Protein backbone atom coordinates (compact mmCIF):
# COMPACT_ATOMS: atom_id res chain seq x y z
CA UNK A 1 0.00 0.00 0.00
CA UNK A 2 1.51 3.34 -1.05
CA UNK A 3 2.00 6.10 1.48
CA UNK A 4 -0.52 8.94 1.57
CA UNK A 5 0.67 12.17 -0.08
CA UNK A 6 2.24 14.70 2.24
CA UNK A 7 0.39 17.90 3.05
CA UNK A 8 1.36 21.55 3.46
CA UNK A 9 3.77 23.72 1.53
CA UNK A 10 6.46 21.85 -0.39
CA UNK A 11 9.98 22.69 0.88
CA UNK A 12 12.14 23.35 -2.19
CA UNK A 13 15.71 24.24 -3.12
CA UNK A 14 16.35 26.54 -6.07
CA UNK A 15 19.48 25.52 -7.99
CA UNK A 16 20.88 28.44 -9.97
CA UNK A 17 21.11 31.92 -8.48
CA UNK A 18 21.39 34.02 -11.64
CA UNK A 19 18.70 36.34 -12.96
CA UNK A 20 16.17 33.61 -13.71
CA UNK A 21 17.04 31.80 -10.50
CA UNK A 22 16.28 34.94 -8.53
CA UNK A 23 12.98 35.27 -10.40
CA UNK A 24 12.07 31.74 -9.31
CA UNK A 25 13.16 32.50 -5.75
CA UNK A 26 10.75 35.44 -5.73
CA UNK A 27 7.91 33.24 -6.98
CA UNK A 28 8.59 30.63 -4.29
CA UNK A 29 8.86 33.25 -1.55
CA UNK A 30 5.42 34.60 -2.53
CA UNK A 31 3.82 31.17 -2.83
CA UNK A 32 1.51 29.44 -0.39
CA UNK A 33 2.18 26.05 -2.01
CA UNK A 34 5.99 26.06 -1.72
CA UNK A 35 8.56 27.09 0.87
CA UNK A 36 12.12 28.13 0.07
CA UNK A 37 14.51 26.15 2.28
CA UNK A 38 17.69 26.32 0.22
CA UNK A 39 19.56 27.87 -2.70
CA UNK A 40 22.52 26.39 -4.55
CA UNK A 41 24.82 27.72 -7.23
CA UNK A 42 28.06 26.34 -8.63
CA UNK A 43 29.66 29.78 -8.22
CA UNK A 44 30.87 30.13 -4.60
CA UNK A 45 29.02 32.90 -2.79
CA UNK A 46 26.32 33.33 -5.46
CA UNK A 47 23.63 31.53 -3.45
CA UNK A 48 24.38 33.57 -0.34
CA UNK A 49 24.26 36.81 -2.32
CA UNK A 50 20.90 35.93 -3.85
CA UNK A 51 19.36 35.07 -0.49
CA UNK A 52 20.69 38.27 1.07
CA UNK A 53 19.29 40.33 -1.80
CA UNK A 54 15.80 38.78 -1.84
CA UNK A 55 15.03 37.78 1.74
CA UNK A 56 14.69 40.82 3.99
CA UNK A 57 13.73 39.08 7.25
CA UNK A 58 16.95 38.06 9.02
CA UNK A 59 15.37 35.09 10.79
CA UNK A 60 13.87 33.74 7.61
CA UNK A 61 17.16 34.30 5.79
CA UNK A 62 19.04 32.32 8.42
CA UNK A 63 16.74 29.35 7.84
CA UNK A 64 17.64 29.03 4.17
CA UNK A 65 20.53 26.66 3.49
CA UNK A 66 23.07 27.61 0.82
CA UNK A 67 25.86 25.82 -1.02
CA UNK A 68 27.24 24.82 -4.39
CA UNK A 69 25.62 21.37 -4.78
CA UNK A 70 21.85 21.16 -5.10
CA UNK A 71 21.41 17.63 -3.74
CA UNK A 72 23.66 18.32 -0.74
CA UNK A 73 21.77 21.54 0.07
CA UNK A 74 18.44 19.72 -0.32
CA UNK A 75 19.51 17.00 2.10
CA UNK A 76 20.78 19.52 4.63
CA UNK A 77 17.61 21.58 4.39
CA UNK A 78 15.13 18.69 4.38
CA UNK A 79 13.80 19.70 0.95
CA UNK A 80 11.26 17.56 -0.89
CA UNK A 81 12.03 18.91 -4.37
CA UNK A 82 14.45 20.90 -6.49
CA UNK A 83 13.82 23.72 -8.96
CA UNK A 84 16.55 23.56 -11.61
CA UNK A 85 17.22 27.04 -13.00
CA UNK A 86 20.78 26.41 -14.15
CA UNK A 87 22.08 27.09 -17.67
CA UNK A 88 20.82 24.56 -20.27
CA UNK A 89 24.18 22.75 -20.37
CA UNK A 90 23.80 21.97 -16.66
CA UNK A 91 20.17 20.80 -16.80
CA UNK A 92 21.03 17.16 -17.48
CA UNK A 93 23.58 16.60 -14.70
CA UNK A 94 21.67 18.67 -12.12
CA UNK A 95 18.29 17.11 -12.83
CA UNK A 96 19.66 13.58 -13.19
CA UNK A 97 21.45 13.86 -9.84
CA UNK A 98 18.30 15.15 -8.13
CA UNK A 99 16.06 12.42 -9.57
CA UNK A 100 18.66 9.83 -8.65
CA UNK A 101 18.57 11.12 -5.09
CA UNK A 102 14.79 10.68 -4.99
CA UNK A 103 13.97 14.37 -5.43
CA UNK A 104 11.24 15.49 -7.85
CA UNK A 105 12.38 18.32 -10.14
CA UNK A 106 10.73 21.38 -11.64
CA UNK A 107 13.06 22.54 -14.43
CA UNK A 108 13.25 25.75 -16.42
CA UNK A 109 13.00 25.39 -20.22
CA UNK A 110 14.54 23.99 -22.31
CA UNK A 111 14.35 20.50 -20.84
CA UNK A 112 18.05 20.00 -21.61
CA UNK A 113 20.80 21.34 -23.86
CA UNK A 114 20.19 18.62 -26.48
CA UNK A 115 17.25 16.49 -27.50
CA UNK A 116 19.23 13.36 -26.58
CA UNK A 117 19.72 14.68 -23.05
CA UNK A 118 16.01 15.54 -22.85
CA UNK A 119 15.09 11.97 -23.80
CA UNK A 120 17.67 10.72 -21.29
CA UNK A 121 15.99 12.74 -18.54
CA UNK A 122 12.67 11.11 -19.41
CA UNK A 123 14.48 7.83 -18.78
CA UNK A 124 15.84 9.13 -15.47
CA UNK A 125 12.30 10.08 -14.42
CA UNK A 126 11.03 6.60 -15.27
CA UNK A 127 13.91 4.87 -13.49
CA UNK A 128 13.57 6.99 -10.34
CA UNK A 129 9.78 7.05 -10.26
CA UNK A 130 9.97 10.76 -9.47
CA UNK A 131 8.22 13.65 -11.22
CA UNK A 132 10.24 15.78 -13.60
CA UNK A 133 8.22 18.72 -14.89
CA UNK A 134 9.52 21.37 -17.29
CA UNK A 135 8.18 24.89 -16.86
CA UNK A 136 7.28 26.13 -20.33
CA UNK A 137 5.79 29.15 -18.62
CA UNK A 138 4.14 30.90 -21.57
CA UNK A 139 1.68 28.02 -21.96
CA UNK A 140 0.39 29.07 -18.53
CA UNK A 141 -1.52 32.02 -19.97
CA UNK A 142 -5.29 32.11 -19.35
CA UNK A 143 -5.84 33.94 -22.66
CA UNK A 144 -4.18 31.06 -24.54
CA UNK A 145 -6.43 28.50 -22.92
CA UNK A 146 -9.46 30.69 -23.65
CA UNK A 147 -8.39 30.72 -27.31
CA UNK A 148 -8.34 26.91 -27.16
CA UNK A 149 -11.86 26.89 -25.67
CA UNK A 150 -13.22 29.17 -28.40
CA UNK A 151 -11.55 27.07 -31.09
CA UNK A 152 -13.15 23.92 -29.68
CA UNK A 153 -16.51 25.68 -29.74
CA UNK A 154 -16.01 26.29 -33.48
CA UNK A 155 -15.02 22.70 -34.26
CA UNK A 156 -11.34 22.64 -33.30
CA UNK A 157 -8.20 24.24 -34.69
CA UNK A 158 -7.30 23.26 -38.26
CA UNK A 159 -4.98 26.09 -39.28
CA UNK A 160 -3.00 28.02 -36.67
CA UNK A 161 -1.06 31.06 -37.83
CA UNK A 162 1.38 32.85 -35.52
CA UNK A 163 3.16 36.07 -36.47
CA UNK A 164 5.93 37.34 -34.21
CA UNK A 165 7.90 40.50 -34.96
CA UNK A 166 10.18 42.22 -32.43
CA UNK A 167 13.51 44.02 -32.55
CA UNK A 168 15.32 43.46 -29.23
CA UNK A 169 18.99 44.35 -28.85
CA UNK A 170 19.99 41.76 -26.26
CA UNK A 171 23.72 41.57 -26.76
CA UNK A 172 25.48 38.54 -25.34
CA UNK A 173 24.93 34.90 -26.32
CA UNK A 174 21.78 35.41 -28.44
CA UNK A 175 23.67 37.64 -30.87
CA UNK A 176 26.12 34.81 -31.52
CA UNK A 177 23.61 31.95 -31.85
CA UNK A 178 23.18 30.22 -35.22
CA UNK A 179 19.36 30.19 -34.92
CA UNK A 180 18.48 32.67 -32.15
CA UNK A 181 14.82 33.10 -33.11
CA UNK A 182 13.95 29.43 -33.56
CA UNK A 183 15.88 28.14 -30.56
CA UNK A 184 15.40 30.88 -27.99
CA UNK A 185 12.01 32.41 -28.87
CA UNK A 186 9.96 30.37 -31.35
CA UNK A 187 10.04 27.47 -28.90
CA UNK A 188 7.39 29.37 -26.92
CA UNK A 189 5.06 29.64 -29.92
CA UNK A 190 5.63 25.98 -30.83
CA UNK A 191 4.68 24.97 -27.29
CA UNK A 192 1.69 27.31 -27.13
CA UNK A 193 0.35 25.88 -30.39
CA UNK A 194 0.45 22.44 -28.81
CA UNK A 195 -2.09 23.76 -26.27
CA UNK A 196 -4.42 24.79 -29.11
CA UNK A 197 -3.94 21.92 -31.59
CA UNK A 198 -5.04 18.33 -31.00
CA UNK A 199 -2.70 15.48 -31.88
CA UNK A 200 1.07 15.05 -31.98
CA UNK A 201 3.46 16.98 -34.22
CA UNK A 202 4.55 14.87 -37.20
CA UNK A 203 6.79 16.90 -39.53
CA UNK A 204 8.46 20.30 -39.80
CA UNK A 205 9.50 22.45 -42.76
CA UNK A 206 11.51 25.58 -41.96
CA UNK A 207 13.25 28.38 -43.80
CA UNK A 208 15.49 30.76 -41.85
CA UNK A 209 17.35 33.89 -42.91
CA UNK A 210 18.33 37.38 -41.81
CA UNK A 211 17.81 40.71 -43.58
CA UNK A 212 20.80 42.87 -44.44
CA UNK A 213 20.31 45.12 -41.42
CA UNK A 214 20.23 42.32 -38.82
CA UNK A 215 22.57 42.72 -35.84
CA UNK A 216 22.58 38.97 -35.13
CA UNK A 217 25.34 36.66 -36.35
CA UNK A 218 22.84 33.88 -37.05
CA UNK A 219 19.42 33.71 -38.67
CA UNK A 220 17.07 36.04 -36.81
CA UNK A 221 14.03 35.42 -39.02
CA UNK A 222 12.20 32.23 -39.94
CA UNK A 223 9.06 30.66 -41.33
CA UNK A 224 8.19 27.27 -39.87
CA UNK A 225 5.32 24.94 -40.83
CA UNK A 226 4.44 22.13 -38.40
CA UNK A 227 1.99 19.42 -39.41
CA UNK A 228 0.10 17.38 -36.82
CA UNK A 229 -1.26 13.84 -36.76
CA UNK A 230 -4.81 15.26 -36.88
CA UNK A 231 -4.09 17.07 -40.15
CA UNK A 232 -3.85 20.47 -38.47
CA UNK A 233 -1.03 22.81 -39.46
CA UNK A 234 0.76 25.46 -37.38
CA UNK A 235 2.47 28.16 -39.44
CA UNK A 236 4.91 30.40 -37.58
CA UNK A 237 6.50 33.47 -39.19
CA UNK A 238 8.77 35.61 -37.06
CA UNK A 239 11.70 37.96 -36.78
CA UNK A 240 13.86 39.37 -34.02
CA UNK A 241 15.06 42.27 -36.16
CA UNK A 242 11.82 43.96 -37.30
CA UNK A 243 11.43 47.41 -35.70
CA UNK A 244 8.13 49.25 -35.93
CA UNK A 245 4.60 47.92 -35.39
CA UNK A 246 5.96 45.11 -33.25
CA UNK A 247 3.73 42.30 -32.03
CA UNK A 248 3.36 41.32 -28.41
CA UNK A 249 5.94 38.94 -26.95
CA UNK A 250 3.37 36.17 -27.34
CA UNK A 251 2.86 37.01 -31.01
CA UNK A 252 -0.31 37.57 -33.00
CA UNK A 253 -2.53 34.51 -33.54
CA UNK A 254 -5.25 33.48 -36.00
CA UNK A 255 -6.92 30.09 -35.54
CA UNK A 256 -9.09 28.81 -38.38
CA UNK A 257 -11.78 26.25 -37.55
CA UNK A 258 -14.66 24.67 -39.48
CA UNK A 259 -17.14 26.93 -37.75
CA UNK A 260 -15.24 30.23 -37.73
CA UNK A 261 -12.03 31.94 -36.71
CA UNK A 262 -10.38 32.87 -33.41
CA UNK A 263 -7.93 35.77 -33.14
CA UNK A 264 -5.63 36.68 -30.26
CA UNK A 265 -3.14 39.53 -30.00
CA UNK A 266 -1.11 37.75 -27.33
CA UNK A 267 -2.01 40.22 -24.60
CA UNK A 268 -5.79 40.66 -24.28
CA UNK A 269 -8.67 38.16 -24.28
CA UNK A 270 -9.16 36.39 -27.63
CA UNK A 271 -12.29 36.76 -29.72
CA UNK A 272 -13.99 34.64 -32.32
CA UNK A 273 -16.22 35.23 -35.33
CA UNK A 274 -18.44 32.36 -36.40
CA UNK A 275 -19.08 31.34 -40.00
CA UNK A 276 -22.42 33.16 -39.69
CA UNK A 277 -20.72 36.37 -38.54
CA UNK A 278 -21.58 36.21 -34.84
CA UNK A 279 -18.91 37.64 -32.53
CA UNK A 280 -17.87 35.61 -29.47
CA UNK A 281 -15.84 37.56 -26.93
CA UNK A 282 -13.32 35.58 -24.91
CA UNK A 283 -13.72 35.58 -21.15
CA UNK A 284 -11.59 37.88 -19.02
CA UNK A 285 -9.34 35.83 -16.68
CA UNK A 286 -10.51 35.55 -13.08
CA UNK A 287 -8.73 37.72 -10.53
CA UNK A 288 -7.18 34.64 -8.94
CA UNK A 289 -6.02 33.12 -12.24
CA UNK A 290 -2.50 31.69 -12.15
CA UNK A 291 0.03 32.92 -14.72
CA UNK A 292 3.38 31.76 -16.05
CA UNK A 293 5.97 30.81 -13.36
CA UNK A 294 3.41 31.00 -10.58
CA UNK A 295 1.12 28.60 -12.44
CA UNK A 296 3.99 26.19 -13.14
CA UNK A 297 4.94 26.11 -9.46
CA UNK A 298 1.32 25.60 -8.38
CA UNK A 299 0.85 22.68 -10.80
CA UNK A 300 4.12 21.07 -9.68
CA UNK A 301 3.30 21.36 -5.99
CA UNK A 302 -0.26 20.11 -6.55
CA UNK A 303 1.12 17.00 -8.28
CA UNK A 304 3.43 16.32 -5.33
CA UNK A 305 0.44 16.60 -3.01
CA UNK A 306 -1.60 13.97 -4.87
CA UNK A 307 -2.93 16.07 -7.75
CA UNK A 308 -2.89 15.25 -11.47
CA UNK A 309 0.24 14.84 -13.58
CA UNK A 310 1.01 18.35 -14.88
CA UNK A 311 1.08 19.31 -18.57
CA UNK A 312 4.81 19.98 -18.39
CA UNK A 313 5.76 16.45 -17.33
CA UNK A 314 8.95 15.59 -19.18
CA UNK A 315 7.48 13.05 -21.61
CA UNK A 316 5.02 15.63 -22.87
CA UNK A 317 7.48 18.52 -22.92
CA UNK A 318 10.10 16.71 -25.00
CA UNK A 319 7.80 17.06 -28.03
CA UNK A 320 8.31 20.82 -28.00
CA UNK A 321 12.09 20.49 -27.95
CA UNK A 322 11.82 17.94 -30.77
CA UNK A 323 9.96 20.52 -32.89
CA UNK A 324 12.83 22.96 -32.35
CA UNK A 325 15.40 20.30 -33.28
CA UNK A 326 13.46 19.43 -36.43
CA UNK A 327 13.05 23.11 -37.38
CA UNK A 328 16.78 23.81 -37.10
CA UNK A 329 17.64 20.71 -39.13
CA UNK A 330 15.04 21.58 -41.76
CA UNK A 331 16.39 25.12 -42.13
CA UNK A 332 19.98 23.89 -42.35
CA UNK A 333 19.30 21.06 -44.80
CA UNK A 334 16.46 22.60 -46.84
CA UNK A 335 14.08 19.66 -46.43
CA UNK A 336 11.09 18.45 -44.46
CA UNK A 337 12.16 16.73 -41.25
CA UNK A 338 9.92 14.30 -39.39
CA UNK A 339 9.63 14.15 -35.63
CA UNK A 340 10.17 10.39 -35.83
CA UNK A 341 13.59 10.99 -37.38
CA UNK A 342 14.88 13.33 -34.70
CA UNK A 343 13.31 11.41 -31.81
CA UNK A 344 14.71 8.06 -32.94
CA UNK A 345 18.19 9.58 -33.28
CA UNK A 346 17.84 11.19 -29.87
CA UNK A 347 16.80 7.88 -28.30
CA UNK A 348 19.85 6.12 -29.76
CA UNK A 349 22.13 8.88 -28.44
CA UNK A 350 20.40 8.91 -25.04
CA UNK A 351 20.97 5.18 -24.62
CA UNK A 352 24.71 5.81 -25.10
CA UNK A 353 24.93 8.50 -22.41
CA UNK A 354 26.52 7.47 -19.09
CA UNK A 355 24.12 6.96 -16.22
CA UNK A 356 22.62 4.44 -13.79
CA UNK A 357 21.72 1.04 -15.20
CA UNK A 358 18.06 1.68 -14.44
CA UNK A 359 17.97 4.54 -16.94
CA UNK A 360 19.27 2.34 -19.76
CA UNK A 361 16.78 -0.33 -18.74
CA UNK A 362 13.96 2.22 -18.95
CA UNK A 363 15.03 3.54 -22.35
CA UNK A 364 15.60 0.02 -23.72
CA UNK A 365 11.89 -0.60 -23.25
CA UNK A 366 11.01 2.24 -25.63
CA UNK A 367 9.93 0.82 -29.00
CA UNK A 368 11.05 4.04 -30.64
CA UNK A 369 11.39 7.71 -29.73
CA UNK A 370 7.77 8.73 -30.28
CA UNK A 371 6.30 5.57 -28.70
CA UNK A 372 8.40 6.10 -25.57
CA UNK A 373 7.07 9.58 -25.11
CA UNK A 374 3.46 8.51 -25.62
CA UNK A 375 3.99 5.64 -23.18
CA UNK A 376 5.33 8.06 -20.58
Assess contact for 227 and 233: CB atoms under 8 A.
yes
Alpha helices (H) in 212-313, listed in sequence order: 292-304
Shared domain for 244 and 376, answered yes or no, is: no
Residue 333 lies inside a defined structural domain of this protein: no
pTM comes to 0.94
- As a whole number of angstroms, the distance between CA 293 and CA 87 comes to 17
pLDDT of residue 56: 86
**Mind listing the pLDDT tens digit for each residue in 40-94?**
999 999 999 999 999 988 888 888 999 999 999 999 999 999 999 999 999 999 9
Which positions of the chain have pLDDT values less than 70?
Answer: 1-5, 375-376
Assess contact for 81 and 300: CB atoms under 8 A.
yes
Backbone angles phi, psi at 80, to 5 degrees: -100, -15
Residue 332 lies inside a defined structural domain of this protein: no
**Mind listing the pLDDT tens digit for each residue in 11-44?**
999 999 999 999 999 999 999 999 999 999 999 9
pLDDT of residue 376: 60
- As a whole number of angstroms, the distance between CA 145 and CA 269 comes to 10
Shared domain for 258 and 372, answered yes or no, is: no
**DSSP codes of every residue in 109-156:** SSSSSSHHHHHHHHHHHHHHT--EEEE-GGG--HHHHHHHHHHHHTT-
Burial tier of 191 (Cβ tally within 10 Å: 0-12, 13-18, 19+): buried
Shared domain for 134 and 221, answered yes or no, is: no
- As a whole number of angstroms, the distance between CA 305 and CA 317 comes to 21
Phi-psi label, residue 334: left if phi above 0, alpha if psi -120 to 50, beta otherwise: left
- As a whole number of angstroms, the distance between CA 110 and CA 230 comes to 26
Shared domain for 262 and 162, answered yes or no, is: yes
- As a whole number of angstroms, the distance between CA 65 and CA 256 comes to 51
**DSSP codes of every residue in 138-150:** GG--HHHHHHHHH
Report helix, strand or coil for 237: strand
pLDDT of residue 325: 97
Shared domain for 106 and 123, answered yes or no, is: yes
Residue 322 lies inside a defined structural domain of this protein: no
Shared domain for 38 and 49, answered yes or no, is: yes
pLDDT of residue 1: 39
CATH number of the domain bearing residue 24: 3.40.50.720
pLDDT of residue 57: 83
Residue 171: closest CA among 210, 216, 208, 221: 216
Number of domains in the chain: 2
Assess contact for 33 and 298: CB atoms under 8 A.
yes
Residue 321 lies inside a defined structural domain of this protein: no
Residue 113 lies inside a defined structural domain of this protein: yes
- As a whole number of angstroms, the distance between CA 205 and CA 192 comes to 18
Q: How far apart are the first and last CA of the chain?
A: 23
What range does the domain containing 124 cover? 1-140+290-314+340-376
Residue 261: closest CA among 159, 366, 349: 159
CA 248 vs CA 164, 179, 251, 269: distances in Å:
7, 21, 5, 13
Shared domain for 266 and 146, answered yes or no, is: yes
Amino acid sequence: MSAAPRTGAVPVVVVGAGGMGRAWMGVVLASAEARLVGVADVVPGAAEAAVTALVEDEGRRAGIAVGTDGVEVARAAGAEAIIDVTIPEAHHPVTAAALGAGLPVLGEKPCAATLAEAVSLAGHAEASGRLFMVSQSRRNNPHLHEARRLAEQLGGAGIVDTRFFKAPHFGGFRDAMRHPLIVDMAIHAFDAARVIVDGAPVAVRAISHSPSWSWYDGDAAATVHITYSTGAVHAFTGSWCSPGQETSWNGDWRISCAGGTVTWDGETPPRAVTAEGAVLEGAVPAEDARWELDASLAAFCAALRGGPVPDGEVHGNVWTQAIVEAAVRSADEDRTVTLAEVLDEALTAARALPGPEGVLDALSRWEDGAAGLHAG
